[in-house]
Amino acid sequence: MRKAALYLWLGAAFFTAACSIDNQEDIDDIDDNVELTDIPFTEGIVEMGMYSHGIDIGHYIKNIDFSRDDVREQMEALMEEAGPEENLLSQFQQLSEQNPLAGLVLMFNTLISDYHIKDEIVLGKSRGFGFIYDHLHDKQQDEGKIYMKTLVATDEIPEADRQLYAEYAPSEQEAAGPNNTFDADFFDRQLLDDKENIHGYACNVSVYTPKASYGTPDPENPLSAPMIRKLVVYTSPLFSETINFTHPFYQPEEVGILRMEMYMYNSDQHTLDMRPYAIRPGQVNAAQLAIDSAEPVYEITDMSWGFKSLAIFMSGWGTFGE
């Protein structure tokens, strides 16, 4: 897994490499006819999906058995069944050819999640390409816990490192996690006038665009090419901001984020689109808020945690190799 160390540093550099590009304020219609509610969402489950260029990434995550040695064949069979426009690997490859860092962004953020919410406690139970990633955030108790486990039968990860557990204090590590953190200082934020209906919740819409002060990319250097053209964020005041800490990457919004669209380069389609499959208010019991653990217990700032968690993140993608 020597390549994994390089991926960690490249992933950390992702948002610092973002640079200015023109802002287009085209917001896709949600076209959600669910009747709007004014009841705060304090308890229940949100099923969150992830899409790329209209492709439901969750369909592949749910239907591939990463413990087998024919993962690529399983992926190809699913793509053939879905048709040529559902070629997820081709989409990733094209973006990676434009900028290698951009391909890593997709790898680190392709998660589907069930958020178990009770007041200001959220357990995000997520699954990605070949791994489980669970993140508990308890604002009132100032507790954060993360559990990861690879689903891949691989000799490249020592058995003791195939599952990891870390604890942290959110007040000290606000945007903790082994994947990406959004640095709002790099972006201008514009709140649009119109609201959008997302599964019955009226959401404010904010558009983030890279600040012009970060300069123009060098056309001779592909790594300096602009990766993020804009981020579109949909927030509902009926949700606590606690849910934001368990999203694939943290954004400092004051209320809950229900949808997030990332546009890269000049594409008019979402490179990544995190949006709900379903939002279900209801009772959540103690068992649904319980997170697994493992030994040893790492600090979130421990470099060993960072490298070992990256190996788990990349374990599923490694099975697509020739």
Please report the sign of the dihedral spanned by the C-alpha atoms of residue 76, residue 79, residue 83, residue 85: negative
Angle at 216 between CA 98 and CA 224, to 5 degrees: 35
Question: What is the reported pLDDT for 213?
Answer: 64
Rg, the chain, Cα only: 19
Helix (H, G, I), strand (E, B) or coil at 283: coil
The ranges of the chain with pLDDT < 70 are 1-32, 84-92, 95-96, 98-105, 174-182, 213-226, 265-267, 320-322
Separation of alpha carbons 307 and 19, rounded Å: 27
Separation of alpha carbons 98 and 223, rounded Å: 9
pLDDT digit string, tens, across residues 111-145: 899 999 999 999 999 999 899 999 999 999 999 99
Total Cβ atoms within 10 A of residue 182: 25
pLDDT digit string, tens, across residues 49-78: 998 888 888 988 999 999 998 888 888 888
Q: What is the pTM of this model?
A: 0.83
What residues contact residue 52 under an 8 Å CB cut-off, 6+ apart? Answer: 88, 91, 92, 106, 110, 270, 271, 272, 273
Question: What is the reported pLDDT for 84?
Answer: 63
Q: At what angle do helices 2-12 and 303-318 cross, to 10 degrees?
A: 110
Angle at 273 between CA 240 and CA 319, to 5 degrees: 115
Question: What is the reported pLDDT for 146?
Answer: 95
* Distances from the Cα of 236 to the Cα of 44, 85, 123, 130, 282, angstroms: 15, 32, 19, 32, 18
